[in-house]
Structure 1
Amino acid sequence: MDRKEFLATMGFGATSLAVLSCLGCGKGSSSTNGSTSAATNVDFTLDLTASANATLTSNGGYLISHGVLVARTAAGAYIAVQESCMHENSPLVYQAASTRFFCNNHGATFTEKGVVTGGPTSRSLTVYNTNVSGTLLRVYS
């Protein structure tokens, strides 16, 4: 085998390997990383006296737990939605002053009830139930 044949063979092999490894990395991939599916069978409790949950003791505060964004509205109610945007799985933030969830990545916006109000997605967020009992906040499907 001469140098030209060797390089052609190696180039074909490398190209084949690259194509095979990228078959599952497209936008429609079902990998967990690119998934826009919400957590299912959600049922967890947050102790509102725990320092890890301190942001929920103030109106407008929020945190992420168990794949769920849990927030305390400006009015003091607790709400919970999936943690990521329906468009490309980008993380959401809660903006209490605007009473909405916002995707910093692409600008999608959602009401406090998870309804899409702007941006590149047309799918609403999954909303979870919340219930306060004393100092415990339960979030569940």
Structure 2
Amino acid sequence: MDRKDFLASIGLSAATFAFINCAGCAKSSNAPSGDTSGPTGIDFTLDLNLPANAGLSNNGGHLVSNGVIVARTTSGSFVAAQRSCTHESYGLIYQPSASRFYCANHGATFSESGTVTNGPASRALTTYHTQLTGTSLRIYS
């Protein structure tokens, strides 16, 4: 291999490496939206009989709707909080076994009532009221 071929192959390898690393930076569904506050004016109802809401059929289940995580605690009550972390707006996960909301990106945790239990977040989640009437669950501000 002469010098010209060697430099050309290194250039191609470097370009391939850069492309692979940049492709890994693609925006994911858990990427921050930029807004760390919860949605306002929330008022919607979930029909618990619908298959789309089956995540709430059992204690510990949850779903996301309208920017809100709606969860059924291990004791069977319903809680609702903003979907995004107050630190950098990454999507939260509900962890029923720990009775908390968790941000997998930086490790922040929040109680079911929305208070910060572990940083780096320093501001509580916006939480919403829930009201169960028969099989209709209303979530509202």
* TM-score bracket relative to the smaller structure: 0.7 to 0.9
Alignment correspondent of 2:47 = 47
Which structure 2 residues correspond to residues 90-105 of structure 1 after superposition, within 5 A? 90-105=90-105
Kindly indicate whether the alpha-carbon contact (under 8 Å) linking 2:33 and 2:90 is maintained by their aligned counterparts in 1: no
Alignment correspondent of 1:139 = 139
Q: 1:119 Cα deviation (Å)?
A: 1.9
Kindly indicate whether the alpha-carbon contact (under 8 Å) linking 2:85 and 2:91 is maintained by their aligned counterparts in 1: yes
For normalisation by structure 1, the TM-score amounts to 0.76
Partner SS state of residue 36, structure 1: coil
Alignment correspondent of 1:72 = 72
Alignment correspondent of 2:108 = 108
**Distance in 1 between the 2:85 and 2:99 partners?**
16
Alignment correspondent of 1:16 = none
**Distance in 2 between the 1:64 and 1:121 partners?**
21
**Distance in 2 between the 1:39 and 1:140 partners?**
11
Alignment correspondent of 1:129 = 129
- Note the residue ranges of structure 2 that are not aligned, 5 or more in a row: 1-31
**Distance in 2 between the 1:47 and 1:104 partners?**
29
Give the superposed CA RMSD.
Answer: 1.0
Partner SS state of residue 107, structure 2: coil
Deviations 1:11-45 (A, max 9, x none): xxxxxxxxxxxxxxxxxxxxx92111110010000
Amino acid at match of 1:122: S
Partner SS state of residue 56, structure 2: helix
Partner SS state of residue 106, structure 2: coil
**Distance in 1 between the 2:41 and 2:34 partners?**
20
Q: 1:53 Cα deviation (Å)?
A: 0.4
**Distance in 2 between the 1:35 and 1:84 partners?**
8
Partner SS state of residue 131, structure 2: strand
How many matched pairs?
Answer: 110
- Quote the sequence identity (%): 56
**Distance in 2 between the 1:116 and 1:90 partners?**
15
Q: 1:120 Cα deviation (Å)?
A: 0.7
**Distance in 2 between the 1:98 and 1:121 partners?**
18
Deviations 1:26-72 (A, max 9, x none): xxxxxx92111110010000000000000101100011001100000
Deviations 1:61-85 (A, max 9, x none): 0110011000000000000000010
Alignment correspondent of 2:62 = 62
Alignment correspondent of 2:88 = 88
